[in-house]
Structure 1
Amino acid sequence: MYIPEHFNVTDKEEILAFIKANAFGQLISLVEGKLFSSHIPFFLSDDNQSLICHIAKRNPQWENIEDQEALVTFQGPHDYVSPSWYSSSGVPTWNYQSVHIYGRPQLITETEQLSTIVNELTGIYESSLEKPWEPEYKESMLNAIIGIKIKITDIQCKYKLSQNRSANDRLQVIEEHKKRGSSKLSSATKNAL
């Protein structure tokens, strides 16, 4: 990913928090010589050194994934920025937050480990519900999925939040994002001031 210096984020705790808050990502690898992307939820291993997910066995992406480097992308809030919002000249652009993770995938096929993956993901996403669903499924259902553990080899993080503009322009962008309903992006831009 192209990252100009003023948009580069290197704080590891900030990046890990972003991944956890935006954990529905894209797993990208080659399938039969073409780029292939699966949109799926991930979670970080306890030591924050790997990403963990699962895909359907019918999804061909798992078949040769261990033989290559994979890319996982996570997208945060994003929205258009009009040059009419600036006090000085500018061009149309887009503000956003994104993390790219490169790594070496390893397949997980053991039933107990697959159950742990499903239970972990369920726990993460059910925890915010008033009456969380408790995992209750036939063990045979686990035979329909493949777990993937991606050992992280490189992390790139970019927050393009008008940091290259004057303080006045940035404040105007924050206000315009609020008006457009992009409250999370507005807050992220304000935090980057």
Structure 2
Amino acid sequence: MANNTPIIIIPATTSYHLSQIHTLFLTYTSSLNLDLSYQSLNTELSTLPGAYAPPSGRLFLAVSRTGDAIGCVGLRKLPSDDQGTCCDSRPKVAEMKRLYAVPAARGTGVGRCLAEAAIQGARDAGYETVKLDTLGTMHGAMALYRSLGFVECGRYYDTPVDGTRFFELDLRKSSGSRCQ
């Protein structure tokens, strides 16, 4: 895929889009060679859009000019942010999940554009913070997150995967998108 190929980011709202997201999520998680059962991955895949459904969630799909699905990302309310309503002083927190670009699309900016779409989706949904986790071996992903303003933070859930790194972005302090 050439670097001059337009990147089109769309909300995944139709059953066709969701089937493409399902395929990309499965391709991505399979490529990790990790047991993600602790994340209830099978349930997540079988119930899409599930927690990624509006109004609190979002799914975005990157497509090529020819309509091929080349990447995806999900945004959902952070599961541990379900306590209380009026009396809970914690900011509304979203979690960015499953940012993935097919190998042929890497290096084209598709990951950045997907991440920026998720960040804007979080703003639109009224979130104040976006958190995410990544493997410590994913140096390119960590560089992308840092370039978007994410900073490393403490562990926000228990994971059996050694080397998991946690990041957060304060939406009240971050700027806008470069992909629009």
Say yes or no: TM over 0.5. Answer: no
Higher normalized strand content (fraction of residues): 1
TM-score, reference length from structure 1:
0.25
Rg larger for: 1
Relative contact order (alpha carbons < 8 A, sep ≥ 6): 1 or 2 greater? 1
